Amino acid sequence: MWKVKDVMVTNVVTVDIRVNIRKAVERMNNREIGCLVVLEKGNFAGILTERDVLKRVVAEARNPDKTLVGDVMSKPLIVVDPEASLKEALELMFEKRVKKLTVVKNKELVGLITMTDIAGTHTEMTEYVRRLSAKYDIPKRMEKIIRYYVV
């Protein structure tokens, strides 16, 4: 059985909770990534995703120079152990209605895993996503991934 550690990305980028959105988005753009794990005094505080920026900054016409990451990030941070199975990670994503999980071992950030990472691994996981899709009310943010990779 595949585990989270087998498909997670390990080059996770972080940002401080007090950084403004413009600087955070610049970091995301420079690294060509879609999210940043947010830290407050070295501890996990949440996650800033592209969707957070669109919904809570752009759509609300907030000033990105005056809006702080902590004002718009998603929280609490949903974490998974690197030894968890991919099925456990998928179940957690569906339960918590998120597409990304931060991978933490011994209170240390070791990776990030997304529904796309899992859905693209192999047919067993694709079938498991199908079963979870039938069991749970699928959040809109997951529909595109499920339609593209699964159906």
Give the model confidence (pLDDT) of 47-90 as tens digits. 999 999 999 999 999 999 999 999 999 999 999 999 999 999 99
Distance CA 18, CA 15 (A): 8
The whole domain housing 140 covers 4-150
Which CATH number do you get for residue 82? Answer: 3.10.580.10
Confidence of residue 146 (pLDDT cuts 50, 70, 90): confident
Please count the structural domains in the chain: 1
Q: What is the pLDDT of residue 19?
A: 98
Instruction: Report CA-CA distances (Å) from 45 to 38, 74, 78, 113, 120.
Output: 5, 9, 10, 18, 29
Q: Percentage of the chain surpassing pLDDT 70?
A: 93
Q: What is the mean pLDDT of residues 113-124?
A: 78
Residue that wins the pLDDT comparison between 136 and 20: 20
Question: Dihedral of CA 45/18/25/52: which sign?
Answer: positive
Within 10 angstroms of residue 2's Cβ, the number of other Cβ atoms is 15
Query: Is the preceding omega at residue 64 within 30 degrees of 0, hence cis?
Result: no
DSSP label at residue 98: -
- What element of type H or E holds 107? none
User: 93 and 115 in contact (C-beta within 8 Å)?
Assistant: yes
pLDDT number for residue 81: 98
